[in-house]
Amino acid sequence: MKNKYFYINTIGCQMNVYDSDNIASSLVSLGYNKTDSYESADLIIINTCTIREKAKEKAFSFIGRLNKLKKKNPDLIIGVGGCVAQQEKEKIFTRMPHVNFVFGTHTISNLPDIIKKVKSGKNKIIDVQFTSNIHENSNFTNFVPEQAVSKFITIMRGCENYCTYCVVPSVRGKEISRKPDAILKEINYLVNSGVKEITLLGQNVNSYGKKENLCSFPRLLSMVNDISKLKRIRFTTSHPKDLTEGLVASFNLLDKLCNHIHLPVQSGSNKILKKMNRKYTVENYLNKIDNLRRVCPDIAISSDIIVGFPGESISDFNETTALIKEVEFDGLFVFGYSDRQNTQASSFPDKLPEKEKNRRLNTLLDIQEKYSRKKNSALINSVQHVLIEGLSKKQKTAKSSNGFLQWTGRTSSNKIVNFEVKNNIKFNDCYKVGNIVEIKIEKAFNNSLKGVPLHR
Ligand code: SAH
Ligand code: SF4
Ligand code: F3S
């Protein structure tokens, strides 16, 4: 029998990356093989995101392009999942009639059944109901990640914070945490198949376990820290309102916890933070930053900002600029406010024109560029522990001409480091994917560092 191939297009956040791993493991259990070219696939899944309009349009534009393929090959199966699917439900079929099935953010575990139905001739299957329990995917162990050094793992689903601009609560449902045993079992499986670093995921990871009275998030971190073959732990995303002293202390107490935190502030104006329903003030936020830097002086801090929220005046925007200058983030993601269905902010007055949102966005990016470079330059001449992720992009496309190989990896503070090592037997044992090596930093750029191995 001819081999069958699947292709998954993942758009959106790390949670979708994790969900796509689970989707892949389901498809492997159905006898499909993975392909990196969608043109040669028998089954294509689009795992979608609707956090901003642009993300949603990206999904529709890809699905639209598949129409041609489907005409050439009527047996091609196309499925749409993720947050656009959860939001649009059967409307997906109206806009994209060549789609065979639509599944939601809570129904990934039903995929084998859905696909069997499609194969038996049923079309336009829709399965988007919310469930109140977390289904532990028993298929997970079918799919061994290909030489992955670093993996994401979702520890909780949904969100109940209802930030007024955000679509996540309506497409991911109520907050629910997975049991520590299930999480530890999955991490152990990943580590035994070669993974060295894991990132614990949740829309608001620091409220892990609270609702169900499971263990606290710092306690979970400490249990993960005890997994002997694991080298590094990261987590994202933290909500400033739930960043407790216990969690801050973990950065000091747990040797595997990386010294980086992503702590989205969203705005530097208390008026706007209130309208966003973020439940903290600029002063609270700055206090948390002080605490983090006191406990862990070399911690890297990154953040998200939304510019052009409804009613954001020039003076509100200037307050955001001032905050960025005060904190000096290591990295910053800036987004123009985007109206989302069923969110409170979508009905707020005083929307800003696209042009002004873009102007504010570029202003912040220009300011941030200076700080990113400053933070990176401060590392020149330091020795960093770098977890090797693979050959650098440059090396992958070019053959080594000088007998050296260029590798890429990350520091504990999540900065990308490229470095060259002589390609010979003496070094190949030390400098390989998954090892942590000492690199002396020589050059700093906006988004990466360059260094030389300490032991040559
Ligand atoms: N749960 C996380 C991240 C949510 S989505 C948190 O609370 O921080 C990632 C980022 O997308 C958000 O931090 C926010 O900056 C941005 N975002 C969310 N909704 C948006 C919208 N409607 N318009 C523009 N940016 C948005
Ligand atoms: Fe959205 Fe706010 Fe929840 Fe983050 S915390 S997912 S921004 S509602
Ligand atoms: Fe997007 Fe859904 Fe993640 S909307 S950001 S894929 S939770």
User: Whole-angstrom Cα distance, residue 278 to residue 274?
Assistant: 6
> Which ligand 3 atom is nearest residue 16's CA?
6
Q: Is 326 left (phi over 0), alpha (psi -120 to 50) or beta?
A: alpha
Nearest CA to ligand 3 atom 7: 168
DSSP β-ladder status, 197-201 and 232-236 = parallel
Average pLDDT over residues 332-360: 98
Residue 127, number of CB atoms within 10 A of its CB: 18
User: Whole-angstrom Cα distance, residue 164 to residue 149?
Assistant: 37
234 pLDDT more than 90: yes
Question: Cα-flanking dihedrals φ and ψ of residue 111, to 5°?
Answer: -55, -45
Residue with tokens 């129409």: 67
| Helix ranges, 12-126 (H) | 14-29, 53-72, 82-88, 91-95, 111-119
**Helix, strand, or coil (residue 146):** coil
Q: What is the band of 399 on the pLDDT scale with cuts at 50, 70, 90?
A: low
pLDDT of 401: 64
Q: What is the band of 427 on the pLDDT scale with cuts at 50, 70, 90?
A: confident
User: Whole-angstrom Cα distance, residue 109 to residue 137?
Assistant: 7
387 pLDDT more than 90: yes
Average pLDDT over residues 175-188: 95
Classify burial at 184, counting beta carbons within 10 Å of its beta carbon; exposed 0-12, middle 13-18, buried 19 or more. middle
* CB contact at 8 A, 283 and 319: no
Residue 434 CB partners (closer than 8 Å, separation 6+): 149, 194, 196, 387, 388
* CB contact at 8 A, 61 and 25: no
Q: What is the band of 428 on the pLDDT scale with cuts at 50, 70, 90?
A: confident
pLDDT of 265: 98
Q: Per residue in 197-226, is it b (16+ CB within 10 Å) or e — as a string? A: bbbbbbbbbbbbbeeeebbbbbebbbebbe
At 335, which amino acid appears?
F
How far apart are the CA of 97 and the centre of ligand 1, in A? 31
pLDDT in tens, 159-170: 999 999 999 999
pTM of the predicted structure, to 2 decimals: 0.96
Please, what is the average pLDDT of the chain? 94
CA 283 vs. chain centroid, Å, equals 28
Domains of the chain: 4-127 (3.40.50.12160), 145-377 (3.80.30.20), 383-453 (2.40.50)
Q: Ligand 2 test: best mutation among 160, 165, 168, 171, most atoms within 8 Å of CB?
A: 168
**Helix, strand, or coil (residue 108):** helix
Q: What is the band of 264 on the pLDDT scale with cuts at 50, 70, 90?
A: very high
How far apart are the CA of 31 and the centre of ligand 1, in A? 37
Q: Compute CA distances 248 → 23, 278, 287, 329, 375, whole Å.
A: 34, 20, 12, 17, 21
pLDDT of 145: 59
At 174, which amino acid appears?
K
User: Whole-angstrom Cα distance, residue 230 to residue 171?
Assistant: 33
pLDDT in tens, 50-83: 999 999 999 999 999 999 999 999 999 999 999 9
pLDDT of 436: 96
pLDDT of 2: 82
Q: Ligand 1 test: best mutation among 166, 277, 312, most atoms within 8 Å of CB?
A: 166
pLDDT of 404: 86
pLDDT in tens, 106-160: 999 999 999 999 999 999 999 999 998 776 765 555 565 567 899 999 999 999 9
